[in-house]
Structure 1
Amino acid sequence: MSATEAINHTDHAQLEKDVGTPSPQNGGNGSNGAPMQPQMSAEEHEVARAAARFGYGPLAHVNTAEASLPPFGGEFQPGLYKSVENRKFANPAPLGLCAFALTTFVLSAINMGTLDIAHPNIVVGLAFGYGGLVQLLSGMWEMAVGNTFGATALSSYGGFWLAFAIVLTPGGFQIGEALGESSNDPSQFYDSMGLFLMGWFIFTTIMLFCTLKSTVAFFLLFFTLDLTFLLLGIAYLQRGPDGHPNANIQKAGGLFGFLAAFAAWYNALAGIADTSNSFFIIPVAHFPWSPTGRVRRGKTDRELA
């Protein structure tokens, strides 16, 4: 018997000792005559066994040498949602994705010059209420279900929209005025905004690396968002001849922001739609090297080595 088989055998024996197994000879009573726990189904047995091995939560105390869990615990990515052991939660990810998508859609449309709207002040309400507050709450709920990635990403982008709204609030916090936004030389404000956006580009790049074992749709969301922050940051730092943000680069950033918004909506729909409410399931396409992709190809780790 190999070391792994010995560990699995020990875990299995310990689990049966903890939960009890009915005996046909004694009608389900233990040796002392006390009633024992009813026999669990195969799925419940596997969940309890995983909980005994890893501890509470989908990512708690994972021993990578013994098990390979899905990325992010299977929460903040498209697909059917599985609730936390002993508690039932709705999937908070689609709410956060929708909040991000709508706010990004409006701002990106303005950055692209849609309807010749010159100032993005209409985004302030969305950034405070939907993209900011609601997305921040969904990030906190991701933390409640034990999903570190979802909590970090959704809470951070909720904070981004709140910070962006604070900067844009007319006459409220006077950040733009203090940096000379309305003066003849708004270069300080543009440089500051450029650094602000480039910082979010770095953060999004970090998040992008964590999607490489997820789905294609999920990866494309962070990829297009990453390009959005990069292009908008460049537009503010490398301004045009008129001293204002480079219009062409800003429009390109708006285009990728547009794509990121629709990618977020797509991922949200993939997380909401199931057989209980939809006639079709949204395809998300798993990477061939992801755990799900490897299982679907029917190859083991030994075959891939």
Structure 2
Amino acid sequence: MSERRTTGSTAGAPRAGAPDNTQAALAGADIADPGPLGLAGFAMTTFVLSVFNAGILPHTLEPSVLGLALFYGGGAQFFAGMWEFRKGNTFGALAFSSFGAFWLSFWFYVARVAPSLPPADAHKATGLFLLGWTIFTAYMTIASLRTSGAIAAVFVALTLTFLFLTIGAFADAHGITKVGGYLGLLTALLAWYASFAGVMNSTFKRAVLPTFPLAPTVGQA
């Protein structure tokens, strides 16, 4: 924050050592809950990709998810994670930042990396990519048991989604991948519910939709 220059006077300029009242006010300001945004971005992108994984629409149309992966599931969700850091919510910060980064890395993998991989072994690289996210999601599922039933349900379903997609990729088994696709659709619906409950309860200033809290201090470090 730079000082404002004045002609012949220092009136209005901050004094050395004095607290910055503007920054202090901002630090104490209320911040809207970023959770519904992060969940919505995750839900929609997961839903669209899962439609293709489940075989409901042909894989030739799968590139249509890349815009969502870059801007909504990736960008918007990543920023939601940054705001969770500001709110002091360690679980939300790690979850939204990481899954925002997942969608950004998915976009990069599909758009830039996958086309250069040897066709015969590309499925193994995809399996390894998914395995890492399966492990991360599994331990986050354990942590989610101290948040709310709505969030825990999302993580349980997502862990199963990643698990089946990982097995399907390593085995190059489209039937197992389809199971992962349908589990992904379930995950998206659960995440949409959690997002809907969050925005409804915040807007109406009361518990309109239940989220089933599992601990008194939800998601706090």
Provide TM-score, normalisation by structure 2: 0.81
Closer, same or farther in 2 for the Cα pair 1:163/1:222, shift >3 Å? same
Give the superposition deviation at 1:211: 1.2
Structure with bigger helix share is 2
Give the superposition deviation at 1:119: 4.4
Q: Which residue of 1 aligns with 2:198?
A: 271
| 211-220 vs 278-287, greater mean Cα deviation | 278-287
Is the partner of 1:114 in helix, strand or coil? coil
1:158-197 equivalence runs, <5 A: 158-169=100-111, 173=112, 175-180=113-118, 186-197=119-130
Partners of 1:224 and 1:115 lie apart in 2 by: 22
1:185-264 equivalence runs, <5 A: 186-239=119-172, 246-264=173-191
Is the partner of 1:157 in helix, strand or coil? helix
Is the partner of 2:33 in helix, strand or coil? coil
1:18-167 equivalence runs, <5 A: 86-167=28-109
Give the superposition deviation at 1:176: 1.9
Closer, same or farther in 2 for the Cα pair 1:275/1:220, shift >3 Å? closer
Partners of 1:257 and 1:202 lie apart in 2 by: 16
Structure 1 stretches of at least 4 aligned residues deviating more than 6 Å after TM superposition: none
Partners of 1:89 and 1:140 lie apart in 2 by: 12
Partners of 2:145 and 2:57 lie apart in 1 by: 37
Is the partner of 1:121 in helix, strand or coil? helix
Partners of 1:95 and 1:145 lie apart in 2 by: 14
Is the partner of 2:146 in helix, strand or coil? coil
Aligned residue pairs total 192
Mark the structure with the bigger radius of gyration: 1
Q: Which residue of 1 aligns with 2:23?
A: none
User: Given residue 162 of structure 1, which amino acid in structure 2 is its aligned partner?
Assistant: L
Partners of 1:274 and 1:291 lie apart in 2 by: 17
Closer, same or farther in 2 for the Cα pair 1:107/1:167, shift >3 Å? same
1:234-254 per-position Cα deviation (integer Å, ceiling 9, x unaligned): 001012xxxxxx121111101
Partners of 1:141 and 1:208 lie apart in 2 by: 21
Q: Which residue of 1 aligns with 2:210?
A: 283
Partners of 1:204 and 1:158 lie apart in 2 by: 13
Partners of 1:93 and 1:141 lie apart in 2 by: 9
Give the superposition deviation at 1:291: 3.9
Give the superposition deviation at 1:161: 0.4
User: Given residue 86 of structure 1, which amino acid in structure 2 is its aligned partner?
Assistant: G
Percentage identity across paired residues of the two chains: 42
Partners of 2:161 and 2:70 lie apart in 1 by: 20
RMSD, matched Cα: 2.1
Provide TM-score, normalisation by structure 1: 0.59
Gapped regions of structure 2 (runs ≥ 5): 1-25
Partners of 1:138 and 1:154 within 8 A in 2: yes
Partners of 1:275 and 1:281 within 8 A in 2: no
Gapped regions of structure 1 (runs ≥ 5): 1-83, 181-185, 240-245, 293-305
Give the superposition deviation at 1:222: 0.3
Give the superposition deviation at 1:127: 0.4
